[in-house]
Each structure stands twice: as structure tokens, then as C-alpha cells.
Amino acid sequence: MKTIDFDLLKKNIEKRAKENIEAYDLTDAVIGVYQNGNEYTGIFGEADRDSLFRLASMTKPVTAVAAGIAVSKGIFSPEDEISKYLNGFKDMPIHDSDKRGNPTIAQILSHSSGICSSEKSTAEIRFGESGKHTSLADVEAFYGNEPLDFLPGKAQFYSATVALDLICRIIEKAEDMPYEDWAKKHIFEPCRMKDTTYVPTEEQWKRTVNVSGKKDGKLFVHEEYRRCLFPGGPDRHYCGTAGLASTYDDYMNFAKMLLAGGSFDGKQIVPRSWVKEMSKKQLPPEVMPDPVVWGYGVRVITGDDYKNLPTGCYGWSGAFGSHFWVDPVNGITAVYMKNCTNDGGAGALTAWNFETDVYASIK
């Protein structure tokens, strides 16, 4: 195990944050790293420890943990076809093919289901239809009759929207309770994620940071996003793909739970075996080659060709610049919270630099 020099880490992160703020690539942010009981937390702009951030796709790892809890409760198995639990989704037609497919739970979690899995279908279906959906039941009813983009398991395409919502719908139906209430009971409350929510209260909206952008070298605030967790998407139902808001402390608790093999405050939230399954590569090399491969709801670093993070690290990012990973070999969790439109997702420069600065701080 390699050890972080936290004095050097503080220097590296704050130097980089200053540069990013001056370039308008960072406004309000909370950035932190944990290892062996030590934790650095940097707070920038007008943010504070109580600020809420739109997680966007950093919702997906939470949904993957929900899936693991559901498996442990006997609600479903990863190999199950989703048509076993949802209306439709049986012998689904495939675009430009005479074949049909039956997506499974595992394929949804590993972005290999074919559901809304192309640039065209993601844009047209997500932004054209999703505004009509007011519940996960609507999602089930609509997508159960849509063609797949490829034969399940034979390709991969990042399912930015829709597919993981179906995991939430299956849980909601099986447990006969709204998915957010279920997630609160089984994940948020036991992990002390007191501000993590799909539906912020008025008080929480006041603590939610602005979404900033940059145009012609100037900073601006997206006024249309002030009361929205994921623009253009289904903000009226519990979206398992991109629907959560959370604070730095809440999400760091979630990351620490994963680092501890699914345990938090002495309670096993999700089985250790599921965390191992979730954090290993789920797709063969002919579908997705190393060094970055899908696990369940996370990307997994599988080879040294990825220069920033060691093999075995896993985590994910959000469209508004949030980023996190867990390093089980070195006992590290790292969480980067910001909401910007000019530098988001796993390819964000701020995310890449965050990884660089953390491992440049290791002795």
C-alpha cells in the first residue's frame, strides 16, 4: 500500500483549483480524498460542506448498489431477463436486423443491453419522449415496446439514460413502495446520506449550487437549471441513471462504504461479494478491451495503459463535472463535486487532473 502525503495533496489540489477557477473551469466545488482515517477536503467558490450538487451519472453507482441489495434479498438475479419482472422487453426487435433479444439485469448494469444504446436513440428517445414520463411505470410502459440498438451482450454502448431506470422499476414493483423511499431506507439512511435525494426540499434547493458554463471565455450561470437536477430528462420520476442530488459528505460516505466492502458504521449495507462483482470487469475483450471496462454501474481500470489510476480502481463521473473513484489496493476514496457544463463526464479535464494530482501526492 502506498501512502498519500496529505500536505503535498493539499498543495497540489489547491494549486490546480486556483488555475481552474481563473480559467472558469471551476466555480463552486468541494474536493476531497480519504485514506487510512485521514481526509483532505477543499472547499472552493461559494460552496460549503452543506452544498448540494447534481450527480447526473454518478447516480448509476448508487443504482448498482441498489441492485446488489435486491439480489441479496432474492428480488432478482443478475442473469435474469428483465421481461421476467417488467411488461414488455420480451423478444425485443433490433434496429436494422431480423434478430430479437432479451436483455438481462447484468447487461443493463454493464451497458450491454442495447436499450437506448446509440447516439441517435439516446437523443431522440431521451429528449423527445422522457418529458412525458411522470413515473417509473411510464418508463416501463414506453421502453418495453422500443427496438434495441444491438443484440444484448454482443456490443456495448454507454447507456447514459433510461436503462438503469428499469432496475429501479423492478425493485419498486417487487417491494411495493416508491423507489426513492426504498433507496432512502436501504442506502441513504444507513450510510448517513442525509441530503441525498431525487426530490430536493425548498431548503435543499437553496443549498444547491448553480450550474455554470463558459462561452467566449466568459463565465455565466444557466438560469434554466436552477430548479432542475438533470435538464432535458425525466425530472418527475426517480431516475436511476441521472436523477440524484447529493453533498460531498454524503457521497464520500457512499464511497467509504464501497471501500469497506459494502459496510458502513458496522452494518453491512450490501454484500461484500456484490461489491467485488460490481467492481470487476463484466465484458469480454472482444466487446470492450482493456484498460477501461464496464463493471456494474462503474468503470473499472483493468490495465497499466491507463496512466492516471492503478489497476483495480473503479468509479464514475457526472455530466456536470462530478467524479469519484475507489482504490481498494491503496485504501483510497476520492470525490470531486462541481456543477459545470463546459467540462463534464469521465473525459473532463478537471477529472483527469484530479486523478493526476492525487497520485502525484503519494510517497
The domains located in the chain, with CATH, are 6-64+180-359 (3.40.710.10), 76-175 (no CATH)
The pLDDT value given to residue 311: 97
The pLDDT value given to residue 162: 86
Mean pLDDT for the stretch of residues 230-238: 62
Range with the poorest average pLDDT among 85-89, 299-303, 322-326, 346-350: 346-350
Range with the poorest average pLDDT among 23-27, 192-196, 223-227, 276-280: 223-227
**Whole-angstrom distance, CA of residue 259 vs CA of residue 275:** 9
Contact yes or no for 38/4 (Cβ under 8 A): yes
- Position 131 confidence tier, pLDDT thresholds 50, 70, 90: low
**Whole-angstrom distance, CA of residue 317 vs CA of residue 22:** 23
Instruction: Find, among 294, 302, 259, the residue nearest to 278 by Cα.
Output: 294
Percentage above 90 pLDDT, the chain: 84
Q: Please determine, for residue 234, whether its predicted confidence score (pLDDT) is greater than 50.
A: no
Residue identified by cell 472558469 is: 24
Amino acid identity of residue 77, one-letter, is: S
pTM of the model: 0.96
Residue with the bigger pLDDT between 187 and 138: it is: 187
The grid coordinates listed for 115 are 436499450
The grid coordinates listed for 270 are 450490501
**Whole-angstrom distance, CA of residue 13 vs CA of residue 354:** 7
Residue identified by cell 478491451 is: 289
Mean pLDDT for the stretch of residues 267-280: 98
Instruction: Find, among 177, 188, 333, the residue nearest to 246 by Cα.
Output: 188
Q: Please determine, for residue 315, whether its predicted confidence score (pLDDT) is greater than 70.
A: yes
**Whole-angstrom distance, CA of residue 28 vs CA of residue 125:** 32
Residues in the chain: 363
**Whole-angstrom distance, CA of residue 74 vs CA of residue 79:** 13
Residue 356 — φ and ψ, nearest 5°? -60, -45
Cα 179 to Cα 52, 167, 281, 334, distances in angstroms: 21, 10, 27, 27
Angle between helices 60-72 and 248-259 (to 10 degrees): 50
Residue 256 — φ and ψ, nearest 5°? -65, -35
The grid coordinates listed for 181 are 423511499
Mean pLDDT for the stretch of residues 290-309: 96
**Whole-angstrom distance, CA of residue 212 vs CA of residue 223:** 9
